[in-house]
Chains A and B, each alone.
Chain A
Amino acid sequence: MYCDKVIELLKELERSREDTIPPYNNDGINHVLSEMKTLDAEIIDLLRTQKDNLPLDAIRLRRAAIERNKRCLLTYIWTRIQRLKEMRWEIGAILPSDVRQNLSQSEIEWFNNYCKTLVSYMKTIGPDTGLNLTQDTKPPKSLYTEVRSLVDAGKLELESGEVLILRKNSQYMLSRSQAEPLIRQGVLEQVRQ
């Protein structure tokens, strides 16, 4: 049936976890695009061969199928960039290699442009070097937060100028602003109170 393939694409996306991006399904997309071309060719063919007695329903059906394919394909890529956008806010500008592998060339370009746009916007805020909006995402309940180091991360210079050496499985009290980016990078883990 028409449009089956494109629905499969969308289902594949829907079944994956929301904080992940499944591999860009190039074959699936090409399949849908070629279905659209076939349908288009069929319409033109019908128009040419049966000029006197146009099979309007057949043409309408094919048009609707093309439109549906288009709509669904765009939904597919739109949903993917929405997830990519979430990742920019969660993980930062540098994507892990397993995510990068799953992206198409155009998606990588989109992501780089998005980072540029976002950074140049954040630079304009405030009096001097700008404001990092990806920080301070939760209302602060306390100034310090207890964290556990997941790796031997080495030296960390504190805001006060002291140097702390992060060892695997040790716990520390760090200021929230300093701990937040490290938690997101997976270096530290928040210890639940």
Chain B
Amino acid sequence: MLTIMDIDIRDLIDEEDDDNQEEMTAQKVLQIVERAWLNEKFSPEILPHQTDYVDCLLEQIKGMEGNLAKLSKTDPKVDLHKLELERIKFVITSYLRTRLKKIESFCVRVLEEEATRSEEDAYLSPAELKFAKEFALNADNHFDTILRHMPHLYNKLDRNKKIIEPNLNSFVFLKCNKHIDSVIIKNTLEGQEEEIVLEDGSQHLMPYSSIAEFVKKGTVQLI
């Protein structure tokens, strides 16, 4: 679990970073969640979950709502803080919603991939995994009510026919956070490969598959 220093609600709006190196500020956590949200929104496949940060932020929101309730209602700052909290809540719910939508669409695929990963580098949080499994089972049961009336050679559904895969070659806009020496872009039409260098801070448009690993590491940010 992360530890967060007890912060005043003002830190939420202030852009300045605290000089506290050891512990993460709420500002920092918010930044991580916002980045995760953008990446999740623009990437075609599901990314490793950031549930710890989300939980941490929700904990903070709860505390801040408590603080706000204590302040006088006539204070104009209260409404500003409340609006800011609403914005953060939107980011969190939108992030989790986007993930659920991907889990639902690519259910079979996501579960198959998840089965090959160990617990430490799981992409889904335990709750999401449970959701995915139940969703898949529910869909299978529903399909089965019609499949079982079909002639017996045809009353099964092949994995290949029900799987929906994300298009990993779709193009994404990205911004580079760090210098990357070599990114390989495959030209699937001509079967050629091209190697390029990404400068720190530069922006590009390229197929997602070429930079998927950098997105997961956090060296590039999808925009």
Which stretch of A13-21, A53-61, A120-128, A184-192 is in the interface? A120-128
Which residue from A40, A132, A135 sits with its C-beta under 8 Å from B151? A40
Residues in A with CB closer than 8 Å to B73 are 160
Residues in A with CB closer than 8 Å to B147 are 70, 74
Residues in A with CB closer than 8 Å to B127 are 121, 124-125
Chain A count of residues within 8 A CB distance of the other chain? 45
Residues in A with CB closer than 8 Å to B86 are 136, 140, 143, 176-177
For residues 114 through 138 of chain A, which have their beta carbon under 8 Å from a beta carbon of chain B?
Answer: 114, 116-118, 120-121, 124-128, 131-133, 135-138
Residues in B with CB closer than 8 Å to A139 are 87, 90
- State A114–B150 Cα separation when bound (angstroms): 25
B113-135 toward A: CB 8 Å interface, digit per residue (1/0)? 00000000000000110110011
B92-110 toward A: CB 8 Å interface, digit per residue (1/0)? 1110110010001000000
Given A74-B143, A126-B55, is A66 in contact with B138 using a C-beta cutoff of 8 Å? no
- State A67–B157 Cα separation when bound (angstroms): 11
Residues in B with CB closer than 8 Å to A131 are 58, 92-93, 96
CB distance from B61 to the nearest CB of A (A): 8
- State A136–B97 Cα separation when bound (angstroms): 11
Residues in A with CB closer than 8 Å to B83 are 140, 142-143
CB distance from B130 to the nearest CB of A (A): 7
Given A70-B154, A177-B86, is A110 in contact with B130 using a C-beta cutoff of 8 Å? no
- State A132–B87 Cα separation when bound (angstroms): 15
CB distance from B55 to the nearest CB of A (A): 6
CB closest chain-A residue, reference B105: A82
CB distance from B222 to the nearest CB of A (A): 18
CB closest chain-B residue, reference A175: B82
Query: Can you give 9 contacting A-B residue pairs, CB < 8 Å?
Result: A33-B150, A40-B151, A40-B154, A67-B154, A77-B142, A113-B141, A125-B96, A126-B55, A139-B87
List 18 additional A-B contacts (Cβ < 8 Å) besides A107-B142, A121-B130, A135-B93: A33-B150, A36-B154, A74-B143, A81-B142, A106-B145, A106-B146, A110-B138, A110-B141, A126-B55, A127-B55, A133-B96, A136-B86, A136-B93, A137-B93, A140-B86, A140-B87, A143-B82, A143-B83
Q: Which residues does A use to contact B, with CB under 8 Å?
A: 29, 33, 36-37, 40, 66-67, 70-71, 73-74, 77-78, 81, 85, 106-107, 109-110, 113-114, 116-118, 120-121, 124-128, 131-133, 135-140, 142-143, 160, 176-177
